[in-house]
Amino acid sequence: MAGHRNSERTEATFSDEKVLVGTGGEVHQVAGGDVPPLTTQQGTPVSDDQNSLRAGTRGPTLMEDQHFREKIFHFDHERIPERVVHARGFGAHGFFETYESLSDITSADIFQRAGEKTEAFVRFSTVAGNKGSADLARDVRGFAVKLYTKEGNWDIVGNNIPVFFIQDAIKFPDLIHAAKQEPDRGFPQAQTAHDNFWDFMSLMPEAMNMVMWIMSDRTIPRSFRFMEGFGVHTFRMVNAEGKSTFVKFHWKPKQGLQSVVWNEALKLNGADPDFHRRDLWDAIQMGDYPEWELGLQLFDEEFADNFDFDVLDATKIIPEEIVPIRVVGRLVLDRCVDNFFAETEQVAFMTGNIVPGIDFTNDPLLQGRNFSYLDTQLKRLGGPNFTHLPINAPRCPFHHFQQDGHMAMTNPKGRANYEPNSWGGEAGGPRETAKGLSAHPEAIDGEKGRVRSERFSDHYSQARQFYISQTEIEQTHIAAALTFELSKVETPAIRARVVSHLLNIDEELAHKVAKGLRLKDMPKPADAARPAKTDLEASPKLSIILNGPESFAGRKVGCLVTDGTDIATVKALKSALEAEGALIEFVAPMVGGVEASDGTWIEAKQKINGGPSVLYDAVAILPGADGVDTLANEATAKDFVNDAFAHAKFIAYSEPAMTLFEKAGVTADMDDGFVALKTEADAKSFVEACRALRFWEREPKVHAAWA
């Protein structure tokens, strides 16, 4: 297959700026007077900073690429000891249970026996923020799974989004530098709403699919428990006969998908910056164990050759409607860590950790990650013996000749510390085995060069497909997110460049954003290496709202109470929620609690000024007739109601609540999202309504998405 060389460039114009554009559509450099040549740290001029050196347009990355090696090496060592990316994380232990034997597809031991359980450790994280940042930043979430199999540790190091910003790992340092705090000022923290990030995005057309995903509600999940995980890359599964099948990995939450709205995320970060951590901790401690199912998209070489996009391109997906998901097992998290530092902070994930029966592809982003992760662990954990740490050590027997080094806790026993050797038995140490890890014998033939497959050059089609796959509500959220982020960009030309890309994705979206930014002149569409395909059908599986839960299980209702609250109403609501598998948490004027109508004492979890409605999936306003006056004069009580209303939450209420509603100014706008609790049946009706998670019909009226 022919490839394009990005050194062949043409000149184009964005507004009054001149730029150099590669044949793949990527912008390489803004021209503006004399600029020095890019060089290595040794001073060697760099001819191509966009592509790793590889064997052929779709071949593997070559180890001799010293520019890539130097760039990644320096990037991996930029932070001590915090992770450069995914610094803010939270982990838990659990197990993976195999549903059926997959021996026809893979020889991996973990998939040979139905019902077998394998120990697992999972770390969730945000990407851009530092360790001390808040949980609800608009950001990609890491979803890394370590499986301690009988044939060694297998790491599926993924995200909650199935695509990525870039196609080649050589651009990863640039991406993260652009997303992190601007280096001259050290802010903004855990935010992409700044000039550097959108400057980079607007100059990288290949990122446009990911831009749609990160501006969607996928980047403000309600909980780790209610988000998907993806392996991102295409891998191989290889069976005992050597037959290879391509595979993409999916983790599907059994309790459905759920996100928050943007205004809610902002307030959650203030109310509880540990919201996601606390949610996972509480769920496990209460025995409500989070659970996902592992799904595989399996396809062969013929499909890969005929698919509209290159399966080695990490900025693309294969829609589930085209290649359905095969569910093969479940992941359950049932134990919190004993020590956060020893386990969550010191766990070392590496894409290179695979087991026999699993193999890589020549995805250039995956190839670069395989190279980079080992280097990262060396810097973060102080030396080559990080596998001696309990959280990283295999659970199966292991034998090798590696010795000494910083913090060595075990060394090989016996005379031999090399191989081959002529010593027999235990003295000679371990030997190679035919059952060991081996690479699939893929034929590689291509010219050495910094090249990229021509099939990588369609940057807009799947971005458009993602957008049209969203509900109208979700499309509104995307437009609002883009408008908000770009409103924080101080350079008008950058805003215009982003809109020029949006014109290639969806004209209506582009005009909404342009209107929201009040652009004086609409830019022309950005030059496209390949025009967007308009015949790609919507994929309903890409929508969060269309893939929500079937029940309200695992969610939480915040119940606002005062002295005199009707105990029968409280009992009916609590009973209905418990039957659903949901929780109720009481919020009161004082944290000590309240005395209900029959003299029963109700313990409060939150004081009203510390327990805002953003902490809950739905709310119930159940004050007593005498106590409601206290709430009506309390600003945070009115905020409790107003925020729940603005965030389209279902609101249950008793008659005395009307006094608070009047003070909060919502009585004139009460809709079907309000449920009056007069009987036990009303409580059940409220819980049934909550299964929809939000009363979305209200949102156009309150414009919460644009807040």
Output the six-digit token pair for 246: 């391509």
Would you say 322 and 169 are in contact if contact means Cβ atoms under 8 Å apart?
no
Considering only CA atoms, which of 234, 235, 241, 236 is closest in space to residue 104?
A: 241
Ramachandran region, residue 122 (left: φ > 0; alpha: ψ -120 to 50; beta: rest)? beta
Q: Is the peptide bond before 273 cis (omega within 30 degrees of 0)?
A: no
Chain position carrying tokens 């709205």: 261
Residue ranges of domains in the chain, CATH in brackets: 3-56 (no CATH), 457-545 (1.20.1370.20), 550-706 (3.40.50.880)
Please tell me the distance from the alpha carbon of residue 67 to that of residue 73, in angstroms, as a whole number.
10
Q: What are the structure tokens assigned to 260, written together?
A: 């928050």
Question: Do 313 and 233 contact (CB within 8 A), yes or no?
Answer: no
As a whole number of angstroms, the distance between CA 615 and CA 618 comes to 9
Whole-number Å distance between alpha carbons of 585 and 560: 9
**For residue 7, what pLDDT is reported?**
39
Q: What are the backbone dihedrals phi and psi of residue 677, each rounded to the nearest 5 degrees, phi first?
A: -100, 100
Q: Using CA atoms, how far apart are residues 361 and 102, in angstroms rounded to an integer?
A: 20
User: What six digits make up the tokens of 218?
Assistant: 């996928």
As a three-state string, the secondary structure of 173-237 is HHHHHHHCCECCCCECCCCCCCHHHHHHHHCCHHHHHHHHHHCCHHHCECCHHHCCEECCCCEEE
Coil vs helix vs strand at 276: helix
What is the rounded distance in angstroms from the CA atom of residue 575 to the CA atom of residue 569?
A: 10
β-pairing, 326-336 with 358-359? Answer: unpaired
User: Which residues are designated catalytic?
Assistant: 86, 159
pLDDT at 707: 39
- Contact present, 133 and 190 (Cβ < 8 Å): yes
Structure tokens at 248: 């993409």
CA–CA distance from 330 to each of 7, 103, 236, 465 (Å)?
47, 18, 20, 29
- 326 Cβ neighbours under 8 A, 6+ residues apart: 295, 296, 297, 298
**pLDDT digits 0-9 by tens, 75-97:** 887 765 788 899 999 999 999 99
pLDDT value at position 15? 43
Q: What DSSP state is assigned to residue 345?
A: I
pLDDT value at residue 79: 64
> Which DSSP symbol is given to 362?
-
Instruction: Provide the pLDDT for residue 208.
Output: 98
The confidence score (pLDDT) of residue 28 equals 47
Distance of CA 370 to the CA centre of its chain: 20
Enumerate residue ranges in the chain where pLDDT < 70: 1-33, 79-80, 704-707
- Rg of the chain in Å (alpha carbons): 27
Distance of CA 225 to the CA centre of its chain: 12
- Residue 210's alpha-carbon distances to 165, 255, 544, 582, in angstroms, are 5, 25, 16, 34
pLDDT of residue 33: 57
Compute the half-sphere exposure of residue 349: CA atoms within 13 Å on the CB side of its CA: 29
Taking the CA of residue 640 as centre, how many other CA atoms within 13 Å lie in the half-sphere pointing to its CB?
A: 36
Token pair of 5 as six digits: 């060389």
Q: What are the pLDDT digits (tens) for 652-667?
A: 999 999 999 999 999 9
